[in-house]
C-alpha cells in the first residue's frame, strides 16, 4: 500500500518553507525557511501534524508506515553530520520537539540529547574528549525522558520535582553549589540514581535502544497535545484541538561543551515595551532548557558583546536578516557550540499589548509594513493595555520598595500574596485579588497565573516561563527579583528585615520592575490623562502610539462605534475615547443614586395610578437633569436612551430594617409593603414582568420617562447645543407592544413641542433581544425606526441559559468542548448569530434603511465586532474603555473583507 | 363624489344572500336568504360591516354619505308596508339590531319600536285601535333607547336596572302583578316617569325626531361592537375586532298586540342534547326581548300546538325547510302578529358539545351531510364533553334534591354558591370553585359566568341568556328552577324549609336539570366506562356517537396522535382512548412517589460521584419497574421516555423540619445540607442547571436511567410483548450535548444487550425546546434519530416569558389585543411557529427521514394541532383525555388541506 510522505527534511535538502505552518507547525516551517535563507540550522526533519491525528485515531500509537520514512530521514541526517544514530563510538544525538501551527510556548514537551545509552555515552565521551560533558548530556536526557515520557513527576506543585531532588541531594553530599561543577564521576553516580528512580517510580527500565527512545519521545510529544495545560491554553486562545502538533527531530548542537559554548533566547525588539533594541539573554555552557526553565538566571544579551564579540555581531546581523525576511519582530533560540552559532528556532515574538502597538507603529515608520498590515497585526484587545491605570508616582514614594526585578509584563497590579497556583485559583474563586509569588513558574501553574492580578518571581529572566506567559496573557509581571527569599514551606517572602506573609498585600509595577509592600493607589494612564487634558499630548509617546493607531483604524473601518453610558461622567469618557454616540443609556441606573431610590420605591409600592404618578413626578426632574448633562457631553452626537428595563423588585430593599424605614418614610403599613413585595416576587425574573411589559401595565412610567427626555432635549437645544435623541423600548417581542409604547413616546414628544412651541426630531426604536423580536422584525420595523441587538438577553433566551446560573455547568461545557467559548463573552455565531442574521434580513424587509446596532456586552469583544461587521450593522456600542478595542476590531474586519 | 353602496335591502327587492356574511353579518345575510326561499320576512335593510370600520375611523360618527342611502331604503320599505316613518297617523316602526359575521348572541345592542314619539304614539293608538298596545310599545322603546343609546343603566349588578325599578314601583302602586295588566293610562304615567328618569340621568331629553332616534340607535349598535362584554366574547372565540358588525333595520311586527300574538325562539333540534325534536319556547302577547331576557318564563314550544295549531304546523314546516336549505340545525326567532307568522332571524344554532356530536352523526345517518362535513362541523373540543365525569347516581339518592330546573348545559358541576358575577370572578381568582346563582343572567355577567363551574337560574327558559351562554361556553347550566327563591340582599336561596347561604356547596346536574344540596361525587362518563370494559358498548348511545366520530376522524387524519403519560395508569388510559403511542413519558414524576423522593434527595445531596451512584442504584429498580408496566400497557406501540429534566432543587423539601428529617435519615449534617441547598439555588431556574445539563455534569444519572429503560425493554420482551422505545434527551441546545448524552445512552444499551445476550432496537432523539436547538437542528439531526417539539419551553424562551410569571401582565396583553390568545394555550404561530418551521426544515436537511413530533401542552389544542399538521409533523402528543380532541382536529386539518 502506497503511503503518503509524512516527513519533511531540512538541511542540505529542504522540503518545507514558512508557508507550511498547518502541516509542519510553526517551528518546522520556520526551521526550513531559515535554512532556505542561509541561516545556520542543524539538519533534521519534521513529522507532520497529520500524524498527530493518526496517532490519536490509532489509540496513541504511531502508524506502522511512518517508521520507514523516519529511518530514511535519519540516514540523510547521518550523512550530513558524519555521525550515526545509536553508534557506540560516534553517536548522532537528536532533539525532539513539538511545534503547532500557532506556537504554544512551554505547553508541550521536548526531549534533548536523545540517542545516548549506557554504551554510546562512553564513545561520546571519547569522541568529544569531554567525559564530564558527555555524562552531563546523558543525565539531562535521562531526566527529561524520565519526566516527559515515563511520567516521573512531582504529585503537585508543593513538592519538588524528583530528579531535581536527587540532583540537589548529590550537590549537598559533595558540597558544591552549581551543576557545572559536578565531575564526570559524580554525574555517573547521578545517572545511576536517576535510573533507579525511574525503575522504582514507573516499574520500567530506562530504554537503551535508541529507536525505542525515539519512538517514546515522538509519542510523548504527540500525547502532550492533549495534556491539561495545552488544552487550557487552546481554550484561552481558541486553537482548535484538531490542528494537532508536528514533531521536529533535529540533530543536537551543544551549548554545554565548555566556556566557548552558550545557549540563548533573543528578540529582535523588546517584547515587553516594544522598544527597537536587541533584547534577550543567554547562559554560557548550558543547554536551552536551562534558560527557559529559569533554573539559572541568565545574562542579558548585551553582555555577550564582551564574552563573544564576533558571535554577538553575527547575531545582530541575524536580527536584521530575520526582520527583513519575516517583516515582524522575531523571538529566536540559538546555541553557540565551540564559538559557532546555530539557529534552533524563530517565530513571531509574543509581545505585550503595549509592545504590539509600538512595534506595529514603528515598523510602519520604518517602511517595513503598511498601515493595513499594522492594524491587522495589533490584537484588538492590546490597545486597552494603553488605557489601564498605572501606579501613582507620589504614592510610590511614600511606600516601602521591597525589591527591583525585571519588568516582564507592564501595568500596575495590587493584591494578596499567595505562593501556590492552586491556592491562587481557589481564593480567586472567593473573589480575592491575588499576586502569585513563585521562585519560578512552570507550565503546571498556568491556571493560577490566569486567575492572578500579577505574577512575581525571584528567579528567571525575561524569557523565563513566567515572563513569557505573562506577556502573552497581558498579565502584570515582575520576574527575577533575586533579593526576595521566597519560602513555600513557611509561606513567606523574606527581604532584609521585612517578612511578607501569605495574604499580605503587595503591589508590583510591571513597567518598571518595582515591588512594593502594601497597596499602591493607581492613577489614569498617560493616554487617559492626555485625553482629559491633564497632560500635553507631545509629552507622551504612548499617546502618540494610541492616536496613530486610532486614526488608522478610523480610516479603515466601516462600522460605527458607539459607547454604552448611563451617566454624564461615562458619557464624557466615551466622548473622549472617540465614541461616535451613545448606543445604550440605561435609565434605571439613575434610579439607584442618592435618595432617588426612595421615590422609585414609593412608585413601586403604589397601588393606584395616581399614587404612582405622584412618585413619578418626583423622579422626572432628576431624570431630566441627567439627560441634559449627557446631551451636553455628547455635543450633538446621537444618544440612544432605553426606557426602564429591570423587574421592579430589583429596586426594593432586602432587609426588614430597610423595609421598616420605607414604611415610616412614606407612611405605608408594613403589611401593605409585604403584600406588594410578595406580589412582585417572580420564579424567573429574567423572563418576567420587565422591559416594555412595565410600560404596558404602567403606561405612566413610559410617559414620565419620555417627557423627561424630550424636556431635556428642548432645554439643551435652547442652549445652542444640538441633540440627536433615539428613544429605545426594551424587551419587545410583539409588534403591538412596540406600537403601544411608541405611541406613548410620540404623544409625550408632541406635548413637549406644544408646550415649548418648538419642534425637534427624534427617533423611536427598540431592542432585538428576544428570539421572537428577531423573527418578526419585519413587522416591528413598520413602525420602529431603529433596532439594537441586546445580545446579553438574546443569548440567554436563545440558549435557554441564565447567565447568572450558568456557572454550575458552563465551565464543564467549555472543558468538554461542547461550546468553544463562553457565549456570554463572545457571540455564539452558530446559534445567536443565526438569529441575528434573520433579524437583520427581516428588519430590512420591513424598512430598507433601518438603522441596526448592537449594545450587548459583546459589542466590545473583537470577534463579535467582526461578526457585526459581516452582518452589516450600522454600529456596535460597548463600554467606554472598549471603544478603542472595537475600533481596531472593526478596522480589521473591514480589511479582512477587502482582502482578495 | 361617488359613494359605494353600503345598504342591502330585503323584502320585495332582495340585494343579499346567505354567502354574504362578511359584508352583511350573519343576521342580515340570512334575512335575505330566508326572503329568497319564500319565508315570511318583514321588509328592511342591512347597513354593511364596512360602515362599522368607517364609524370607528370617523371618531364614532356615521359617514355623511350614508344618510341618503338610508332615506332611500326607508322609502322602499314605506312603499311595501304602506306606512311612513315618523308619520303622525300611520307611523312605520323599525327594529335596529346588530349582526356580526359570527353570531355573538346578547353581546351587542338592539332597539325595538323605533319611530314612535309623543305625537305619533297617539296616531299609532288610533290606527291599531289599541291604545294599551301603542303605549306599551312606546314605553318599551323609551326603556331600550334610554338604556342602550343614552346609557341609563345600573352601576353594578347588585343594583336593579333603573327602568325596571320604575316599572316595579308603578305595579306596586296600582297593585297589579303582570306587565300585561297595565292600562294605557298607567303606561302613559310610566312613560312620563321614564322620560324624567332619562332627563335626570343623562341631562338630555329623550329625542322626538325619528331620524335622530334612528341615527342614535345605529351609532349605539356600532359602538356596542367594542363594549366590554363583546370584547371579552371576541377574545374567547378569537373573533378579530376588525370584522365589525352590520346593522339591520327592519320593519316591526308585533307579538304584543293581543292574545292572537306571540313571539318565540326555537331550534330545529334540541341544542342541549342534540335530540331531533322541535324545541324552543314562546310567549303570548310579548315582544322578543321578553323571551331572551328571561323576564317572564316562557311556554315550551309544544304548548303552541294547543294555543295556535295552524301556526304550530306552519312552524314545523319551517323547521324542515330551514334544515333542508341550510343543512344544519337552525336557531330562529319568530313573531306571530294577529295569527300571522313572521320570521325575524335564523342562524346555525349554538349547541353543546354533546349536541354538536349527536347532530353531526345523525345528520350523516339522515343523509343530509357527508362524513367530511360532519367532522368539519364538530368543534374538536366538544368531543371532550362526552368524557367528563358525571354524578354518581347512587350518591344522588342519598342527597337532598333542592329543585328541578331545565337541563340547559349538560354535565356535573359542584361548587360554592355565589350570587354576583363580580364576586364569582373574585373568589375564582382565589382558587374557589363557584356555582353562580342568579334569578336571571344578563350580558354583564359574562366574566363571572366564564369563571364559574356551573350556572343556576330561577327564572328563564332554554333560550334565556343563561342557557344560551352556557351552551356556547360548554358550562354546566340549570335554568328556570322556579322553586328556588334567590335573594341577592340576604345572599340566600330559600327553598321550602331549606336555606342555602353564600359559600355553601351545591351540585347541579345540567343533563337532568336537578339541583342538590352539598357535594355529589362523580363517576367516569359512559364512554369511559365502556372503554374500561365496565359497561357494554351496545347500552350506550353516547359511546356509539363517540366511536363513530373517532372512526371517521381516524380515516381522515394524516397526523399521528400520541399521548403524554408518566405512569402505567396514564398509559392504560391513553391506550384505551386510542393513543398510538406515548410521545412523552416524564421520568421525574416517578421520583416524587412514595419514599423514592428520599433516595432522589440522597442523590442530590451527594458531594461525590460514588455517593451519587449509590443513591442512583436504589432508584434504578424502581424506575425499571415503572417502565416495564408502561411497556406492557402500550403493547408494542412506541414509547418516548424523556430523561430527567427539572432542576434538582425542585426535589428538595422547603421546610426546616423536612430537612432535619433528611439529615437524620441519611446522617448528613444540617450544615452540609444547607450548603448544598444554597448551592442549588438559582436566579432563573427555568434557564438553569436542568435538562441534559444535569446529564452533562452528572453522567451517572443518564447511565442509570438508560440502563433502567433497557433492562425493562429486555424484561418485557422476554414476556413476549413487543417494545418500541425512544429515549429522549431534554433541553439540548448544542450538538455536543446531544452527542455526549447519546453516547452514554447507547453504551448503556450495549451493556444491557451484552449482559442479557439479547439484541433489541431503540431510538435516541431529543426535544426541540430551545431556539438554538431549532436553529441547529440540521447538525443535531446528524446523530439524533427523532425530535419532539417541547413547545412549553420553546414558547417561554422564544417570547422571553416565564409562564409562571406572566400572570401579572399577560391578561393586559390579551385585553389590549397585543396577543390574540394565550401563547401557552395555543401556539404563537407568528413567532414560535416560525421557529418550528425553521426547525422542521433544518432537521430534514440533516436527516431527511427524521421523525418529528410535539409533546408540549399545545399538542391537545385544536388550532395548534392544525398547525402541526401544516408543518407536516409525524405526530402530536397530548394528555390522554385530549387524544379524541386531537384526532378530530387532525382530521379537520387534513380535510381543510384537501379542500379545493
ipTM for this prediction: 0.82
What number is the average pLDDT over the span A674-694?
Answer: 91
CB contact under 8 A, B687 and A805: yes
Neighbours of A296 (CB within 10 A): 17
Please name the residue of chain A whose CA is at the shortest distance from the CA of residue B732: A799
Other C-beta atoms lying within 10 Å of the C-beta of residue B115: 26
Task: Report chain B residues whose CB lies below 8 A from the CB of A815.
Answer: none
User: Per the structure block, which three cell numbers stand in for A41?
Assistant: 540550522
Task: Report, as an integer, the average pLDDT of B375-404.
Answer: 88
At A222, is the pLDDT very low, low, confident or very high (cuts 50, 70, 90)? very high
The stretch B748-753 carries a mean pLDDT of 97
The DSSP code sequence of A130-188 is: -HHHHHHHHHHHHHHHHHHTT----SSTTS--HHHHHHHHHHHHHT-SSGGG--HHHHH
Average pLDDT over residues A614-626: 93
Q: Determine the average pLDDT of the residues in B140-153.
A: 92
Residue A276 annotated to the active site: no
Q: What is the pLDDT of residue B666?
A: 84
Which residue from B minimizes the CA distance to A691?
Answer: B800
**Residue B899's pLDDT is what?**
45
- pLDDT at position A293 is 60
CB–CB contact A771 B797 (8 Å): yes
What's residue B900's pLDDT? 44
Please indicate whether residue B657 or residue B334 has the higher confidence score (pLDDT). Answer: B334
Q: What is the pLDDT of residue B295?
A: 63
Mutation for testing the A interface, residue in B681, B693, B773, B800 having most A CBs under 10 Å: B800
Flag whether pLDDT at A3 surpasses 70. Answer: no
What is the structure's pLDDT at A720? 95
pLDDT of residue B294: 56
Q: Which chain A residues are Cβ-neighbours of B802 within 8 angstroms?
A: 682-684, 686-688
Distance between CA atoms of B630 and B256, rounded to whole angstroms? 67
For residue B665, give how far its alpha carbon lies from the nearest alpha carbon of chain A (Å).
27
Using a CB-CB distance cutoff of 8 angstroms, which residues of chain A are in contact with residue B682?
802, 804-805
Give the closest-approach CA distance of B478 to chain A in angstroms.
Answer: 38
Would the pLDDT of A809 be above 80?
A: yes
Look at A717-726, B652-661, B726-735, B834-843 and tell me which has the smallest mean pLDDT.
B652-661
Grid look-up 409600592 returns A605
Taking each helix axis as running N to C, give the angle between helix B49-57 and helix B210-224, from 0 to 180 degrees, rounded to the nearest 10.
90
Instruction: Answer whether residue B292 shows pLDDT above 70.
Output: no
Least Cα separation, residue A681 to chain B (angstroms): 9
Catalytic residue among A465, A649, A858, A869: A465
**What is chain B's mean pLDDT, rounded?**
92
Q: Across the interface, do A770 and B736 touch by the CB < 8 Å criterion?
A: no
Q: What is the pLDDT of residues A300-333, one digit of tens each?
A: 999 999 999 999 999 999 999 999 999 999 999 9
Mean pLDDT of A205-217: 95
**Closest chain A residue to B834, measured at CA:** A775
SS3 of residue B347 by DSSP:
strand
For the segment B109-126, what is each residue's pLDDT rounded down to a tens digit?
889 999 999 999 999 999
Distance from CA of A806 to the nearest CA of B (A): 6
Are B835 and B771 spatial neighbours (Cβ–Cβ below 8 Å)?
yes
Render pLDDT for B395-423 as a digit per residue (tens, 0 to 9): 888 788 999 988 888 889 999 999 999 89
pLDDT at A157: 63
Q: What cell was used for B29?
A: 345575510
| Separation CA A722–CA A742 (nearest Å) | 23
Residues from chain B contacting residue A819 (CB–CB below 8 Å): 734, 736
Average of per-residue pLDDT across A148-166: 85
B816–A740: do the CB atoms touch at under 8 Å?
yes
Confidence of residue B431 (pLDDT cuts 50, 70, 90): confident
Interface contact A688-B775, CB threshold 8 A: no
All residues at 6 or more sequence positions from B430 whose CB lies less than 8 Å from its CB, including other chains: none
Concatenated DSSP letters for A392-403?
A: -HHHHHHS-EEE
- Say yes or no for a CB contact (<8 Å) between B805 and A835: no
Tell me the chain A residues in contact with residue B797 when contact means C-beta distances shorter than 8 Å.
771, 797-798, 800
What whole-number distance in Å separates Cα of residue A779 and Cα of residue A784?
A: 9
Which of B676, B729, B771, B806 best probes binding to A when mutated, by most A CB atoms within 10 angstroms?
B771
Cβ contact (<8 Å) for B835 and A805?
no
CB B818 within 8 A of CB A738: no
Phi, psi angle pair for B57, to nearest 5°: -60, -30
Considering only CB atoms, which chain A residues are within 8 Å of B798?
770-772, 775, 797
Give the one of B688, B697, B800 whose C-beta lies nearest to A770's C-beta. Answer: B800
Q: Which residue of A has its CA nearest to B682?
A: A805
pLDDT for residue A900: 44
The mean predicted confidence, pLDDT, of chain A is 92
Q: Give percent above pLDDT 70 in chain B.
A: 98
Contact B688 A808 (CB under 8 A): yes
Chain B residues lying within 8 Å of A737, measured CB to CB: 813, 818
Q: Measured between CA atoms, how close is A621 to chain B, in angstroms?
A: 28
> Is A734 in contact with B819 (Cβ distance < 8 A)?
yes
DSSP type of residue A833: I
Question: Looking at the predicted structure, is the pLDDT value of residue B288 above 70?
Answer: yes
Is residue A544 predicted with pLDDT exceeding 60? yes
Averaged pLDDT for residues A48-64: 92
Give the list of residues 6+ apart from residue A509 with CB closer than 8 angstroms, or none: A390, A391, A396, A407, A411, A412, A476, A478, A515, A516, A520
- pLDDT of the residue at A859: 94
The strand pair at A875-878 and A560-564 is best described as parallel
Task: Kindly determine whether residue A831 and residue B771, on different chains, have CB atoms separated by under 8 Å.
Answer: yes
User: What pLDDT, on the 0 to 100 scale, is given for residue B499?
Assistant: 94
Higher pLDDT, A102 or A472: A102
CA distance B811 to chain A (A): 10
Q: Which of B52, B479, B855, B878 is catalytic?
A: B855
Closest in B736, B771, B793 to A818, CB measured: B736
- Distance from the Cα of B733 to chain A's closest Cα (Å) equals 6
Q: Which residue has the higher pLDDT, B464 or B383?
A: B383
d(CA A513, CA A879): 30
Residue in B686, B731, B772 nearest the CB of A831: B772
Q: Does residue A154 or residue A550 have the better pLDDT?
A: A550
For residue A815, give how far its alpha carbon lies from the nearest alpha carbon of chain B (Å).
Answer: 11
SS3 B100: strand
Give A-chain residues touching B775 at CB under 8 angstroms. 798, 830-831, 834-835
pLDDT band at A590 (very low <50, low <70, confident <90, very high): confident
Contact A683/B740, CB-based, under 8 Å? no
Span B65-81, mean pLDDT? 95
pLDDT confidence band for A761 (50 / 70 / 90): very high
Q: Confirm whether A465 is a catalytic residue.
A: yes
Which of B805, B812, B838 would you mutate first to test chain A, the one with the most A CBs within 10 A? B805
pLDDT of B286 > 60? The answer is yes
Q: Please report the pLDDT score of residue B267 as a whole number.
A: 95
CB within 8 Å: A812 and B696: yes
CB nearest A818 (choices: B686, B740, B828): B740
Q: How many A×B Cβ pairs under 8 Å?
A: 174
Look up the pTM and report it.
Answer: 0.83
Q: Do B799 and A834 touch (CB under 8 A)?
A: no
Task: Determine how many CB atoms are found less than 10 A away from the CB of residue B719.
Answer: 10
Question: Nearest-CA distance from B774 to chain A in Å?
Answer: 9
Q: In this complex, do A775 and B769 lie within 8 Å of one another by their Cβ atoms? A: no
Beta bridge partners, B373, equal: none
In this structure, of B271-275, B295-299, B302-306, B363-367, the range with the lowest mean pLDDT score is B295-299
Share of chain A above pLDDT 70, in %: 98
Which tens digits make up the pLDDT trace of A831-865?
Answer: 999 999 999 999 999 999 999 999 988 999 999 99
Of B688, B805, B808, the CB nearest to A805: B688
Amino acid at each position: 500500500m502506497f503511503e503518503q510522505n509524512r516527513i519533511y527534511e531540512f538541511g542540505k535538502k529542504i522540503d518545507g518553507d514558512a508557508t507550511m505552518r498547518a502541516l509542519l507547525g510553526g517551528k518546522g516551517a520556520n526551521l526550513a525557511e531559515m535554512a532556505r535563507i542561509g541561516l545556520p540550522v542543524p539538519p533534521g526533519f519534521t513529522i507532520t501534524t497529520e500524524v498527530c491525528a493518526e496517532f490519536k485515531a490509532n489509540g496513541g500509537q504511531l502508524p506502522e508506515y511512518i517508521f520507514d520514512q523516519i529511518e530514511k530521514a535519519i540516514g540523510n541526517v547521518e550523512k550530513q553530520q558524519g555521525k550515526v544514530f545509536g553508534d557506540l563510538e560516534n553517536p548522532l544525538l537528536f532533539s525532539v520537539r513539538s511545534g503547532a501551527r500557532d506556537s504554544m510556548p512551554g505547553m508541550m514537551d521536548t526531549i534533548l540529547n536523545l540517542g545516548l545509552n549506557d554504551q554510546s555515552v562512553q564513545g561520546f565521551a571519547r569522541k568529544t574528549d569531554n567525559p564530564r560533558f558527555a555524562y552531563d548530556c546523558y543525565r539531562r536526557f535521562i531526566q527529561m525522558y524520565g519526566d516527559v515520557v515515563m511520567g516521573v513527576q512531582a504529585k503537585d506543585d508543593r513538592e519538588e520535582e524528583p530528579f531535581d531532588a536527587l540532583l540537589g541531594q548529590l550537590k549537598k553530599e559533595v558540597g558544591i553549589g552549581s551543576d557545572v561543577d559536578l565531575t564526570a564521576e559524580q554525574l555517573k553516580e547521578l545517572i545511576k540514581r536517576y535510573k533507579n528512580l525511574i525503575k522504582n517510580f514507573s516499574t520500567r527500565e530506562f530504554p537503551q535502544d535508541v529507536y525505542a527512545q525515539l519512538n517514546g519521545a515522538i509519542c510523548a510529544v504527540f500525547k502532550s497535545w492533549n495534556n491539561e495545560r495545552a488544552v487550557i491554553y487552546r481554550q484561552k486562545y481558541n486553537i482548535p484541538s484538531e490542528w494537532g502538533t508536528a514533531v521536529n527531530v533535529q540533530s543536537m548542537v551543544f551549548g554545554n561543551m565548555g566556556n566557548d559554548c552558550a545557549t540563548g533566547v533573543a528578540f529582535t525588539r523588546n517584547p515587553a515595551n516594544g522598544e527597537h533594541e536587541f533584547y534577550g539573554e543567554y547562559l554560557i555552557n548550558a543547554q536551552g532548557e536551562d534558560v527557559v526553565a529559569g533554573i539559572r538566571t541568565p545574562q542579558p544579551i548585551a553582555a555577550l558583546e564582551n564574552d563573544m564579540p564576533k558571535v554577538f555581531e553575527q547575531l545582530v546581523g541575524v536580527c536584521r536578516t530575520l526582520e527583513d525576511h519575516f517583516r515582524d519582530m522575531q523571538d529566536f533560540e540559538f546555541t553557540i557550540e565551540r564559538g559557532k552559532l546555530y539557529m534552533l528556532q524563530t517565530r513571531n515574538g509574543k509581545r505585550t499589548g503595549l509592545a504590539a502597538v509600538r512595534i506595529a507603529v514603528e515598523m510602519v515608520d520604518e517602511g517595513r509594513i503598511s498601515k493595513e498590515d499594522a492594524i491587522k497585526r495589533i490584537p484588538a484587545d492590546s490597545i486597552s493595555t494603553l488605557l489601564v491605570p498605572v501606579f501613582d508616582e507620589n504614592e510610590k514614594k511614600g511606600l516601602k520598595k521591597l525589591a527591583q526585578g525585571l519588568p516582564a509584563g507592564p501595568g500596575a497590579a495590587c493584591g494578596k500574596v499567595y505562593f501556590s497556583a492552586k491556592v491562587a485559583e481557589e481564593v480567586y474563586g472567593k473573589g480575592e485579588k491575588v499576586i502569585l509569588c513563585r521562585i519560578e513558574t512552570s507550565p503546571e501553574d498556568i491556571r493560577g497565573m490566569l486567575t492572578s492580578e500579577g505574577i512575581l518571581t525571584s528567579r528567571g529572566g525575561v524569557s523565563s516561563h513566567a515572563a513569557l506567559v505573562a506577556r502573552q496573557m497581558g498579565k502584570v509581571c515582575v520576574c527575577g527579583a533575586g533579593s526576595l527569599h521566597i519560602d513555600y514551606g513557611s509561606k513567606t517572602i523574606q527581604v532584609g528585615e521585612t517578612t511578607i506573609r501569605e495574604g499580605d498585600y503587595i503591589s508590583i509595577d510591571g513597567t518598571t520592575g518595582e515591588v512594593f509592600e502594601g497597596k499602591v493607589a493607581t492613577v489614569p494612564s498617560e493616554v487617559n490623562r492626555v485625553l482629559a487634558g491633564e497632560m500635553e499630548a507631545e509629552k507622551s509617546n504612548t499617546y502618540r502610539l494610541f492616536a496613530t493607531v486610532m486614526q488608522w483604524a478610523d480610516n479603515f473601518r466601516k462600522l460605527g462605534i458607539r459607547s454604552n453610558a448611563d451617566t454624564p461622567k461615562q458619557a464624557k469618557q466615551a466622548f473622549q475615547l472617540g465614541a461616535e454616540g451613545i448606543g445604550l443609556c440605561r435609565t434605571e441606573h439613575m434610579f439607584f443614586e442618592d435618595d432617588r431610590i426612595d421615590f422609585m420605591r414609593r412608585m413601586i409600592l403604589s397601588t393606584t395610578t395616581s399614587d404612582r404618578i405622584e412618585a413619578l413626578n418626583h423622579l422626572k426632574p432628576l431624570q431630566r437633569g441627567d439627560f441634559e448633562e449627557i446631551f451636553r457631553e455628547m455635543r450633538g452626537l446621537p444618544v440612544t436612551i432605553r426606557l426602564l428595563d429591570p423587574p421592579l423588585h430589583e429596586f426594593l430593599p432586602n432587609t426588614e430594617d430597610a423595609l421598616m424605614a420605607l414604611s415610616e418614610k412614606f407612611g405605608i403599613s408594613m403589611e401593605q409593603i409585604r403584600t406588594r413585595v410578595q406580589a412582585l416576587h417572580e420564579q424567573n425574573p429574567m423572563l418576567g414582568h420587565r422591559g416594555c411589559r412595565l410600560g404596558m401595565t404602567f403606561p405612566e412610567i413610559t410617559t414620565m420617562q419620555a417627557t423627561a427626555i424630550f424636556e431635556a432635549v428642548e432645554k439643551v437645544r435652547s442652549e445652542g447645543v444640538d441633540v440627536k435623541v433615539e428613544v429605545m423600548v426594551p424587551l419587545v417581542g410583539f409588534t403591538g407592544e412596540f406600537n403601544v409604547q411608541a405611541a406613548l413616546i410620540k404623544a409625550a414628544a408632541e406635548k413637549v413641542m406644544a408646550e415649548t412651541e418648538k419642534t425637534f426630531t427624534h427617533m423611536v426604536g427598540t431592542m432585538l433581544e428576544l428570539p421572537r423580536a428577531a423573527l418578526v422584525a419585519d413587522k416591528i420595523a413598520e413602525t420602529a425606526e431603529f433596532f439594537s441587538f441586546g445580545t446579553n438577553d438574546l443569548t440567554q433566551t436563545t440558549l435557554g441559559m441564565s447567565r447568572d446560573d450558568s456557572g454550575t455547568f458552563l465551565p464543564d461545557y467549555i472543558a468538554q468542548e461542547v461550546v468553544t467559548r463562553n457565549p456570554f463573552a463572545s457571540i455564539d455565531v452558530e446559534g445567536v448569530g443565526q438569529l441575528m442574521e434573520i433579524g437583520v434580513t427581516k428588519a430590512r424587509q420591513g424598512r430598507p434603511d433601518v438603522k441596526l446596532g448592537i449594545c450587548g456586552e459583546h459589542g466590545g469583544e473583537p470577534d463579535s465586532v467582526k461578526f457585526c461587521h459581516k452582518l452589516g450593522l450600522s454600529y456596535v456600542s460597548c463600554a467606554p474603555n472598549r471603544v478603542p478595542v472595537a475600533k481596531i476590531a472593526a478596522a480589521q474586519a473591514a480589511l479582512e473583507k477587502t482582502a482578495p
